[in-house]
A = this chain, B = another copy of it.
Amino acid sequence: MSELLGVAVLGAGHMGADHIRRLDRGVSGARVAAVADPDTRRAEAAAAGIEGVRVHADVEAALDAPGVGAVLVASPGPAHEEALLAAFARGLPVLCEKPMVPDPEGALRVVEAEARLGRRLAQIGFMRRYDAEYRRLKALLDSGRLGRPLMLHCTHRNVSSPPGFTSAMLVDSSVSHEIDAARWLLGQELTAVTVLRPRSSAAAPQGLIDPQFVLFESEQGALADVEVFVNCGFGYQVRCEAVGESGSARIGEDHGMQVTGGGDTCREVPQDYLVRFADAYDRQVQDWVDATRRGAVTGPSAWDGYAAAAVAEAGVRSLEDGRRATVDLAPRPGPHIA
């Protein structure tokens, strides 16, 4: 394992810059070999101080740069399909930030392209699967100790939404994490979505439907509900309770230091997903690097990326017309959910 894995990072925005820093300093076994961003000044800034990195405006040039053995896609969602197909064409393993491809049709094209290769190259950035508490919950469900899963109750709250955040993005961006988590925890596909609209908060930007309450049905009849509230004001909370036939389990409860003073005992709520899921991001990339160096692809698959896109698309339909929307899922071109 002596040779470092040279990674081309596509996209040098907030998330891309964070991954560049992580590859350079937070994980072992990898190095940043190339950075591509149409805004090359941004790419230069993100790559500053890292020896041996080349900066490109163009994706193909970055993929073809010397020393590149794998790709990390952190560009905007609409650019992902082309990037993934380019990586596939070169046989390069790729870690692609979510959404894999925003529209289900494009996502399916990626699935089919990989299927034609006859081997996996893509891992999708559903990093909650690398969070210690989610992993505990998954292991508990798989152990059968709770009996068969019947319900998941989920909460997803942000302090405030960034400029330009739309009502549909609560479903297809925020809740996409819960979509993947529900599929993974239950080990089942989701078949229908209903989006309810409680009264919107006065703290939400004008016109934004926030909070929303999203209901998912699974193929074996489990129900998953998600409160998504992206202008809750007080912090970043991601919680999940799984209810089975013989017990329940909760993750995401407040923990850490308890401070008593002035009549209350308090625990801090993290303000940001980078605080709550810092370890999960690190572990995700480390696992990807480790697997890639030994020639394996182990994380969430292109199918997971496609299924999430299809469920999110149904959710947006339900948000628009207020009715239950069924999920249209193409036949699976390969083996079952990893």
- Interfacial residues, chain A to chain B (CB-CB below 8 A): 1-2, 24-29, 49-52, 132-133, 136-137, 140, 145-148, 150-151, 153, 196, 198-203, 211, 213, 215, 220-223, 225, 227, 229, 232-235, 237, 243, 245-251, 253-269, 271, 279, 290
Contacts and interface: CB of A to CB of B under 8 A. Distances in A.
A271 B263 contact: yes
A220 B199 contact: yes
Nearest to A132: B256
Nearest to A268: B264
B260 A247 contact: yes
Contact of A227 (B1, B151, B258, B279): B151
A220 to B, nearest CB: 6
Nearest to A196: B223
Contact of A249 (B26, B249, B260, B262): B260
A152 to B, nearest CB: 10
B249 A257 contact: yes
B268 A263 contact: yes
Contacts of A279: 279
A24 B52 CA distance: 21
Given A153-B227, A213-B215, A253-B258, 15 more contacts: A2-B50, A132-B256, A136-B257, A137-B257, A140-B257, A147-B202, A150-B201, A151-B227, A198-B221, A201-B245, A229-B243, A248-B260, A254-B265, A263-B271, A265-B266
Contacts of A260: 234-235, 237, 247-250, 254, 269
Contacts of A132: 256
A52 B133 contact: no
B247 A233 contact: yes
Given A25-B28, A29-B25, A198 B247 contact: no
A265 B261 contact: no
Nearest to A201: B245
B222 A148 contact: no
A239 to B, nearest CB: 10
B257 A264 contact: no
B150 A198 contact: yes
Given A151-B211, A215-B196, A247 B234 contact: yes
A261 B146 contact: yes
Given A26-B28, A247-B262, A199 B211 contact: no
Contact of A257 (B133, B200, B203): B133
A187 to B, nearest CB: 14
A261 to B, nearest CB: 3
